[in-house]
Amino acid sequence: MRGSHLVIKPVVIVSVCAICLGTLGCAGPTQTIRQGQDFCRAGIQYTEALDKLLDVTITTAIDYDSDELLRQRKRTDPNELQPFLQERDKALAELVTTLETFRHHGRRLRAYFVSLQTLANAKLQESAEAAVGSLSGNIAAANENLRESNRLKLSEEEQVYLGQLGRLVAKHIQAGALRRALRRDAAIIGEQLVLHERLIKKLRDVLMDRSLDEVDTLWRQKVKKPYVDTTQTIGEPWKQDRALWIRSSFYQEELTKATEAIHHMRFVWMGILQQEQNVESLQLALGDIGDFTETVHALHEAGKDKED
Amino acid sequence: MARTNDEANVDLETTLKHLRLARRQLKNIDEDELDALPVEEQREWARSLQRLSVAITKLETADLQNLSDEFVAQEPQLRATATQLDDDLGQLADAVAMIHVASTALDTVTSIVTLLA
């Protein structure tokens, strides 16, 4: 059993490592891993923003409907009050139930990003360095014991070097796995992003409709009207109404946060996809989110104009 | 000719847009102006507001349900991708584990050889 065992030359180890590095792609592994981490962070950030946005949308839709019912109450035929209320209750409950389903869809997307994050953040490099260091130590010990003439004897320095090389190889393996996963999932996540973009647009439409109306009414009835009517004394209630009117612009801030998250995610995602073919349609479908932010700003500015 | 989903969505969005605008116009009538109207016209205003609001809420719900259905249709694929990622992570861990196994095996061989020497 002597002679043929454990004859490992340094050049063989280095060559194997070089082949691994060469075949795992040209893009820097650190860059790939960081790109994956950024993408995961953006994805998780987006799903959190979506959850808040759903909260705001549901609260706004309910409050708006209640305010409207209160306003029309005194002008409604008393015989119609109950049927009107029941009709509104049913329609609103269905809307809220439907909006709640999107929390589930958001959580499902979040689960993907969390798994991807686990892959991107895996501490493989330290483990690999320790394992390869241990392996090289054992190779040296085995050779020492076997007393082969053509044995490979590793010095301490060489063992440290091999450990570091192991870390480098592990980094490339991890980056390669991440890159393969991102490319493999490109179409599915791309479709998800398109659906989420459409969802955000619909939520924006609901919120815009309600908040535009609410903000207008609040300012006209509770802020401007009492202020210009010098025959009435105004004080703390008027200040509270005015503060409420200003605070209502926070809805738009929430919208902006959600938009920024998905906007950022789109850029990262497109960067990943640029190495793929046939992504033009996906890139087009992911476009135009920038308009969202501009519209929100326009609304905010419109609010300022009304104040003036 | 059958309409595509996109065409139906656009129609739905356009209809919603018109209905929302109509509601806003109806609600922009000042309270003082409404007070000045005969009771029957005030009730007609309330009925119009009721019809518009219910229609808007129902259309919004239908529109969102259509989108939710699309999410549901994609869910199995999304689940599968998350599972695959877990497998990928397992394979990475396996690579390190294999080096550990090789190292341990070598250690064992060394010990046996030492005993035999």
- Report pLDDT digits (tens) over A125-177: 666 666 666 776 776 676 666 655 455 566 677 766 666 666 677 777 777 77
Average pLDDT value for residue range A282-308: 39
Residue given tokens 């073919």 in the structure block: A277
Give yes or no for A194 touching B (CB within 8 A).
no
Has residue B4 got a pLDDT over 80? no
Q: What is the mean pLDDT of chain A?
A: 71
Has residue A50 got a pLDDT over 70? yes
CA angle A212–A214–A218, rounded 5-degree value: 120
Q: What is the pLDDT of residue A86?
A: 97
Q: How far is B2 from chain A (nearest CA, A)?
A: 23
Q: What is the pLDDT of residue A16?
A: 38
Q: What is the pLDDT of residue A284?
A: 39
8 A C-beta contact, residue A194 and residue A262: no
Nearest CA in chain B to A205: B17
Give yes or no for A84 touching B (CB within 8 A).
yes
pTM of the complete model beyond 0.80: no
Give yes or no for A131 touching B (CB within 8 A).
yes
Q: DSSP assignment, residue A231?
A: T
Nearest by Cα to A87 from B52, B34, B16: B52
Has residue A82 got a pLDDT over 70? yes
Query: Would the CB atoms of A98 and B42 count as touching at under 8 Å?
Result: no
Q: How far is A94 from chain B (nearest CA, A)?
A: 7
Quote ipTM for the complex.
Answer: 0.78
Q: What is the pLDDT of residue A7?
A: 38
In the structure, what pLDDT confidence band is assigned to residue B36 with cuts at 50, 70 and 90?
very high
A85 CB neighbours in chain B (<8 A) are: none
Give yes or no for A173 touching B (CB within 8 A).
yes
Nearest CA in chain B to A96: B61
In the structure, what pLDDT confidence band is assigned to residue B61 with cuts at 50, 70 and 90?
very high
B58 CB neighbours in chain A (<8 A) are: 91, 94
Domain span including residue B18: 5-116
B53 CB neighbours in chain A (<8 A) are: 65, 68, 88
Task: Say how far apart CA A191 and CA A188 lie, in whole Å.
Answer: 5
Q: What is the pLDDT of residue A113?
A: 84
Q: What is the pLDDT of residue A15?
A: 40
Give yes or no for A291 touching B (CB within 8 A).
no
Nearest to A181 among B28, B85, B109 (CB): B85
A32 CB neighbours in chain B (<8 A) are: none
Question: Buried b vs exposed e over A272-298: b needs ≥16 C-beta within 10 Å?
Answer: bbeeeeebeebeeebeebeebeeebee
Give yes or no for A153 touching B (CB within 8 A).
no
pLDDT in tens, A247-272: 766 666 666 666 666 666 666 666 66
B78 CB neighbours in chain A (<8 A) are: 108-109, 112, 188, 192
Average pLDDT value for residue range A57-64: 88
Q: How far is B42 from chain A (nearest CA, A)?
A: 5
A61 CB neighbours in chain B (<8 A) are: 57
Nearest to B60 among A95, A109, A139 (CB): A95
pLDDT in tens, B67-89: 999 999 999 988 888 888 888 77
Domain regions of chain A by residue span: 10-307
Nearest by Cα to A134 from B111, B94, B113, B98: B98
Query: Would the CB atoms of B43 and A116 count as touching at under 8 Å?
Result: no
Q: Which has more pLDDT, A135 or B60?
A: B60
Q: What is the mean pLDDT of chain B?
A: 83
CA angle A67–B16–A263, rounded 5-degree value: 95
Nearest CA in chain B to A118: B89
User: Environment class of residue A138 by beta-carbon count within 10 Å: exposed (0-12), middle (13-18) or buried (19+)?
Assistant: buried
pLDDT in tens, A24-35: 344 567 767 776
> How many domains does chain B fold into?
1
Q: What is the pLDDT of residue B38?
A: 96
Has residue B97 got a pLDDT over 60? yes
Nearest CA in chain B to A65: B53
Query: Would the CB atoms of B46 and A192 count as touching at under 8 Å?
Result: no
In the structure, what pLDDT confidence band is assigned to residue A78 with cuts at 50, 70 and 90?
very high
pLDDT in tens, A208-253: 888 777 777 778 888 988 999 899 889 898 998 888 788 766 666 6
Percent residues over pLDDT 70 in chain A: 55
Q: How far is A116 from chain B (nearest CA, A)?
A: 6
